[in-house]
A and B are shown apart, each in its own frame.
Chain A
Amino acid sequence: MTNPALIWSYLSREPLLWLTATLLAYWVGDRLSQLTGRKPWANPVLIAVVLLAGLLQLTATPYPAYFEGAQFVHFMLGPATVALAIPLWVNLRHVGRAALPVAAALLAGSLTAILTALGVAWALGVRGEVLATLAAKSATAPVAIGIAERLGGAPTLAAVLVLLTGVIGAIVVTPLLNALRITDWRARGFSVGVAAHGLGTARALQVNETAGAFAGLGMGLNAVLTALIAPWCLRLFL
């Protein structure tokens, strides 16, 4: 039998090991999420990230070595962003007579998300790369990662901030909008799609179909708007 150290040195050089580990960790995360009945806090990505980060620490594997394997999955973010045009196109027919409320809520929600995040973090002493990363956290992950790269933020941190935003949005949306006595499903879905992207949209779909369609619309439109206005908003805080 070959020396195990040689096998390990092969595995740590080739993409196979960490590509497999990424898919397995996500599978575990997805199963656990299913077992909790898809509770927003049991997010499969959060679970997979914690498992893999722990594994990297245990095996003393540096992140670039891990990324050699995981890059094949990461690459798909670009095509997936382009593919977001399809649900956006499907949901466009819902706009109809709601075009003005949609446009106003998009602008108000998107600006509020960016400016309050930057303002609060800035007031609490956050500066530089981390602040730049925070600007796009309400946009869907592939877009936020792209924007963070453009603004001099950290793409990897962007992924985590986006995820946490989605988890927070999915948890607070129902009690918050009930407290505000908002009963229009279009408003409820659209606002959570703008503020909390795909995870908010998934939550809206669980509650009501109209809310889900408007959430998908909000997520898609905000991906474009955030890319346009985040650089301007960030400039106010530099």
Chain B
Amino acid sequence: MIPAIALILLFQLVGEVASRALDLPLPGPVLGMVGLLGAMVAIPALGRRLRETAEGLLRHLSLLFVPAGVGVVAHLGVLAQAGPALAVALVVSTVAAIAVGALVFVGVARLTGSRPE
């Protein structure tokens, strides 16, 4: 478990340093994720080694955004004012994105002859 955590932190560290050093638009942890994915594709043994720890961490993923979520108390003024507009934007955008994504998937699958499993 300790080597797995150390490796995950190491990829995040490299991601953070690269993101800042090269002034990239990707946040450090996302770069770390891309780096780790590339490393696992190249060395599958790495993926097997990390899998248990990573899945344990991700099982409680939703707990991790509670502290940021509570920060909404600092935005109650903004929400009272922009709340209805944000609610409409979220509903329209989520419905549209699901519909467009699914229709494009089915359309391109038909064009390329990719059958459902």
Question: Which residues of chain A have a CB within 8 Å of any CB of chain B?
Answer: 22-23, 25-26, 43-46, 48-49, 52-53, 56-57, 63, 66-67, 70-71, 73-74, 76-90, 92, 97-98, 100-102, 104-106, 108-110, 112-114, 116-118, 120-121, 124-126, 129-130, 134, 137-138, 141-143, 145-147, 149-150, 154-165, 168-169, 172-173, 176-177, 180, 182-188, 190-192, 194-196, 198, 210, 218, 220, 223-224, 227-228, 231
Contact = CB atoms under 8 A, between A and B. Distances in A.
A120 B15 contact: no
A196 B96 CA distance: 11
Nearest to A162: B65
Contacts of B41: 89, 92
B29 A126 contact: no
A198 B51 CA distance: 18
Given A82-B15, A101-B114, A182-B103, A48 B66 contact: yes
B54 A146 contact: no
A194 B97 CA distance: 8
A180 B99 contact: yes
B66 A53 contact: no
Given A184-B105, A224-B34, A228-B25, A109 B68 contact: no
B56 to A, nearest CB: 9
Contact of B95 (A88, A97, A172): A172
A74 B15 contact: no
B69 interface: yes
A126 B66 contact: no
> Interface range on chain B: under 10, 10 to 19, 20 to 34, or 35 or more?
35 or more
Contact of A159 (B29, B58, B68, B116): B68
Contacts of B22: none
Contacts, number: 343
Contacts of A73: 63-64, 66-67
A163 B68 CA distance: 11
Interface in B32-56: 32-34, 36-37, 40-41, 47, 50-51, 53-55
Contacts of B55: 86-87
- Which of B75, B84, B90, B101 has the largest number of chain A CB atoms within 10 A? B101
Nearest to A56: B73
A45 B62 contact: yes
A225 B101 CA distance: 14
Contacts of A76: 57, 64
Contacts of A53: 70, 72-73
A48 to B, nearest CB: 5
B67 to A, nearest CB: 3
B74 to A, nearest CB: 5
A109 B98 contact: yes
19 contacts: A63-B73, A74-B64, A80-B58, A83-B53, A87-B55, A88-B37, A101-B112, A105-B102, A113-B93, A114-B93, A137-B93, A146-B30, A156-B72, A160-B69, A163-B65, A180-B103, A190-B102, A191-B97, A191-B98
